[in-house]
Amino acid sequence: MYLAAAAAAAFVASAATAETVNDTSLQNINGVFGTSVVTTTTNATGTRTTVTGPGPNAGANRASGTPVLNSWYQANVGPGSTVGITTDYARSGNGSAYFNSTQGDTGKGDLVYNFGAAGASERIALSSLTSVSFDFYRSSASTTTATFAPVLRLGMYKDNTFAGSLVFENVYQTQQNAPVDSWTTLTANLNNGIFWATNAALGPTFASANGGQKTLAQWIADNAGANLTVYGLEIGIGSGWNNQFYGAVDNVKVDFSGGRSVNSNFEVAANGAVPEPATWGMMILGFGMMGASARYRRRSSKATFA
């Protein structure tokens, strides 16, 4: 009994620190976006949103769900790309956030999380960030450039004006190719970990530009006097990637002083599973045995009380 109670307590503690994001929580996005067609499907292997079309990889041809607060949703999914939560590359459970692109430079896809409080969007001071981490996976089936792997982006405002993203990406930490067929964890805080900017409002916009690779503390210092705030997170791939990519993200953790945090573990809902044929056979056999047992008990009951 003590062990059972301890296990239950451990489960409660774990649940308090990590949120399970089930595949069934993703939006059901279907229809036409520019020259692209988007379809969302859910089965035993998870939920996938796939975009087909000739491209180009422009905003009108990318599929996005309805922006929401404090919940992950699919966004910026380009032609030839799929995003979702699936069992393909399981991590810390039965699933992970899945990313795939098959049409070279049209490939693009994200899961997005926007901060909110009391039903309104929220911006949090970048200076209050205490830690950020995520796990990523690149499959050896990928044929895109060997340095490419899923990234995490901090959506930024500067003095209440949209300022693009600060991107946390493996290659700029290690200056090496991404590991394949294994999970890698990237971690950073204000003083450790390299980020690059996507918008000139923050500084150099290219990862290779002089000064374009900095710690968050350096980005804050180089924008001295400005109010840098984070409005949300993106995890994803692209754009402009060549060839094909297959991979995943899991265990996204971002903490700010004052208690604001995101800690997401992506899983496939158990009730969405469809049994395999062999499993169906065992279930039918089991049901038959249960029925036979029940009939036997009824016959025994009548004999006893006659």
Dihedrals phi, psi of 130, to nearest 5 degrees: -110, -30
- The two beta strands, 151-158 and 129-138, are unpaired
Residues 303 and 197 in one domain: no
Beta-carbon contacts of residue 201 (< 8 Å; ≥ 6 apart): 158, 161, 162, 163, 164
pLDDT of residue 18: 86
Q: Which of 126, 124, 112 is nearest to 77 (CA)?
A: 112
Residue length, the chain? 306
Q: 299 is in which domain, residue-wise? A: 282-306
Q: Which of 172, 165, 168 has its CA nearest to residue 147?
A: 172
Q: Do 30 and 137 have their domain in common?
A: yes
Is the same domain home to 248 and 302? no
**265 and 299 co-located in one domain:** no
Tell me the pLDDT of the chain (306 aa) as tens digits.
323 333 333 333 333 478 999 999 999 999 999 999 999 999 999 999 999 998 787 889 999 999 999 999 999 999 999 999 999 999 999 999 999 999 988 889 999 999 999 899 999 999 999 999 999 999 999 999 999 999 999 999 999 999 999 999 999 999 999 999 999 999 999 999 999 999 999 999 888 888 899 999 999 999 999 999 999 999 999 987 899 999 999 999 999 998 899 999 999 997 544 433 333 343 333 434 334 344 333 333 332 222
* Mode of pairing for the β-strands spanning 116-117 and 245-256: unpaired
pLDDT for residue 277: 39
Confidence at residue 259, expressed as pLDDT on a 0 to 100 scale:
84
Task: Give yes or no: residues 148 and 226 share one domain.
Answer: yes
Q: Are residues 196 and 296 in the same domain?
A: no
264 shares its domain with 294: no
One-character DSSP codes across 207-264 = TTSTT-SB-HHHHHHHTTTS-EEEEEEEEEE-SS--S-EEEEEEEEEEEETTS-EEEE
3-state SS, residue 52: strand
- Both 200 and 290 in one domain: the answer is no
Are 175 and 193 within one domain?
yes
**163 and 306 fall within a common domain:** no
Task: Judge if 96 and 219 occupy the same domain.
Answer: yes
Domains identified in the chain, total number:
2
Question: pLDDT value at position 271?
Answer: 56
- Which pTM value belongs to this model? 0.83
| Residue 207 sits in the same domain as residue 290 | no
Closest alpha carbon to 257 in 116, 127, 131, 128: 128
